[in-house]
Structure 1
């Protein structure tokens, strides 16, 4: 047997094991799943030194490739773990454990007829394939959310984080030995990904996290439904009615607090009425933080900045770089965002509620904010426990995708011997179709 055939079989075996585990996992109790999540958090805390050692090996190799011009600083920043970041990871896992059980909730209860009752209930999607780049903390986030929601998961991280991902996966697998065997699987190579994308008979959803080119490749090479996002080309618009001190704080936080992530601002739009007062203030803050500014002609007439090209307006820097444009009006700001944005997260700073309303309803981005940093676009900050990613699409789930976004629903019908013939023909009995408050319990009817 060739090595290629062996690898193919191994990939199929891992997916088959996840399939078998999925139904069993869906029927574990919330208490069992939450206890397993706490076990993961405890194990990460206990294994901090091992994790950081593995991560150091990844970072050292990445820094060498950065020197060679093959990697960006943003990638290295996303890759690197630290004691404080591990603490945040364990906090996130415990937060997911503390979320309400997403499974079994009755969303609709409808009486079709006496003793004929229809229930729509939340259930897991099944087997989820996840492909992500750079950030090893993404592996833990995704695994935690899939476990809490009762989904089996196939994990594929970037090669740049291979040592970190392997250690974290082994910790998760050992900490969850009480869960159905095979509920989480790790695949390693690009060839594994291509095989995975061909398994539409076994994988229910693919969730890629990475560049738009990467997500586009996934979408073009699979029949499996894909839930992913393109670039995070996020905007902050400083309106003519903005509190400029607030605007400075928001524009600074949105760019500097963590520039390597998809919810960091990439373009700052400033109304012409406040540009001469606001731009020198934010420029001083950006300069102190080492931010490279690229501006249009009107911006460069006010502050010292490089020339922004047409490509800058549609670039996700993921770094300490920001493009700045002076606009004539709110309408022009909306037109710019609609033209160049990626429908991720955009924010307006204004004290005028009508301007805020026009901005927020005038965009179809997944998240639109008023007087707040774009960095709030995050599953944990939204109270979702964590996120498997941020979706910029409009189908199924939008924005930070938490537990609800990786569940679906199933219809349960409870009857007492009814047949369709009773409700058909010239003497058909009419349906009641009455909504009522009730939770589905197998084998019971509300009238009993």
Structure 2
């Protein structure tokens, strides 16, 4: 099928989704969850084939280890978590049809601002095949159609998952073309030109992927290029909290975009905090890229030299996505803020301190989608925020920022209900009506 036809089908599906009720969405989500459960072993078989192929690419240094780690659907409780995400999304309030503003302009003339779906989404992501399920569920709940493009390394898994989802929709009022999968870069290149059909592009992947998309489409782009997250350990930081938060931020899932890539340490606590934090990181096999000042405070006998190296300037602009972290000494919270705003990616940054005024200064001053106080950067996630799942993380300053769940997939329209009203009746002259701009009594709500 050519890309124009794919986009047209998506638009037609999006138009039909405008009329789907919350209950009909719930039925569809339940059917998707059930069919994925029934086809679990088939999906795992497809996933194993992807992993076997990907392992060869890793050995040939054609695929990064971090991307390979994201591929596995059988690891731990990932599959069950994916299914729970569907249920969680189903239980959330329907984000469409919500009145966010109302005003009576005149007797019988009422203005409402009402949430509605964005329309057609194009979501491009790398490796993680469960993203197909997460985004499909979010799209259905928010009344959007979606065209999905995953990495070629997960092709078998993606096909198994999307085929199951589309077959589930065949028994519902939601068109199967509400969820479509494309496989090639050529298709994406063509789709990026189809702004007459596609309303929003959401890339999830490498810096190069996001920048390519941003530079090659007229369609609005929602996403983030990098996850350059930092943890600042302030002079008033509790040592135990600092160790726990820094280690979790780096080690819990190093390949994630919300893992910490930079550690900033206040100069006044180098003698008390640096060695315990560095030791805990080394015990977790983290390689420390230290600036000259922090390096000088680590006595050689207490360190693992294989996990210690002096940093270079580029380290503070590097998303390692592995067990590596850049370490820099700063004089105070202002210097920490300046460093983060200069080198960070506006994703998520955290401060460890017992001083609430310093914490407030940090959280006001850091320009990021997420700013945390005494908490790991790994909390930056739609599932953990209670969104059910996320379509991605946005560092934009438009209608959605941070982990983007259902609310980020709706926009709004203004609905005006009148009774033969015309603008010519209103004005400042004699005999002209004045706008009331009063609370609405709700006589028009039946058509909203």
TM-score, normalised via structure 1 length: 0.94
State the alpha-carbon separation in 2 of the partners of residues 377 and 127 from structure 1: 26
Q: Deviations over 1:223-242 (max 9, x none)?
A: 11111111000000000000
Partner of 1:66: 58
Partner of 2:49: 57
State the alpha-carbon separation in 2 of the partners of residues 317 and 436 from structure 1: 54
> Which deviates further from its counterpart, 176-185 or 101-110?
176-185
Q: CA deviation at 1:168?
A: 0.7
1:275 and 2:270 are equivalent in the alignment: yes
Partner of 2:414: 411
1:233 and 2:225 are equivalent in the alignment: no
Partner of 2:209: 214
Tell me if the contact between 2:147 and 2:182 (Cα under 8 Å) persists in the aligned partners.
Answer: yes
State the alpha-carbon separation in 1 of the partners of residues 442 and 351 from structure 2: 42
1:127 and 2:131 are equivalent in the alignment: no
Alignment of 1:41-440 (within 5 A): 41-82=33-74, 84-177=77-170, 178=172, 179-303=174-298, 304=303, 305-424=308-427, 426-427=429-430, 428-436=432-440, 438=442
Q: CA deviation at 1:426?
A: 2.7
State the alpha-carbon separation in 2 of the partners of residues 275 and 41 from structure 1: 51
Partner of 1:24: 16
Partner of 1:36: 28
SS in 2 for 1:294: strand
SS in 2 for 1:306: strand
Q: Deviations over 1:113-159 (max 9, x none)?
A: 00111111000011111111111111111111111000010111111
Q: CA deviation at 1:284?
A: 2.3
The gaps in structure 2 that reach 5 residues or longer are none
Tell me if the contact between 1:35 and 1:97 (Cα under 8 Å) persists in the aligned partners.
Answer: no
The alignment covers a number of residue pairs equal to 436
Superposed CA RMSD: 1.5
> Which deviates further from its counterpart, 122-131 or 324-333?
324-333
Tell me if the contact between 1:236 and 1:268 (Cα under 8 Å) persists in the aligned partners.
Answer: yes
Of the three residues 420, 441, 444, the one matched with 2:445 is 441
Tell me if the contact between 2:167 and 2:176 (Cα under 8 Å) persists in the aligned partners.
Answer: no
State the alpha-carbon separation in 1 of the partners of residues 424 and 366 from structure 2: 50
SS in 2 for 1:240: coil
> Which deviates further from its counterpart, 235-244 or 410-419?
410-419
Tell me if the contact between 2:110 and 2:440 (Cα under 8 Å) persists in the aligned partners.
Answer: no
The gaps in structure 1 that reach 5 residues or longer are 1-6
Q: CA deviation at 1:424?
A: 4.2
Q: Deviations over 1:302-330 (max 9, x none)?
A: 33421111111011111111111121211
State the alpha-carbon separation in 2 of the partners of residues 439 and 149 from structure 1: 26
Instruction: Quickly say closer, same or farther: Cα 1:121–1:412, change in 2 above 3 A.
Output: same
Q: Deviations over 1:60-93 (max 9, x none)?
A: 1111111111111111111121251001101111
Of the three residues 3, 8, 15, the one matched with 2:7 is 15
SS in 1 for 2:385: coil
Tell me if the contact between 1:295 and 1:323 (Cα under 8 Å) persists in the aligned partners.
Answer: yes
Tell me if the contact between 1:102 and 1:403 (Cα under 8 Å) persists in the aligned partners.
Answer: yes
Q: CA deviation at 1:364?
A: 1.2
State the alpha-carbon separation in 2 of the partners of residues 292 and 41 from structure 1: 41
SS in 2 for 1:434: coil
State the alpha-carbon separation in 1 of the partners of residues 188 and 443 from structure 2: 40
Q: CA deviation at 1:194?
A: 0.6
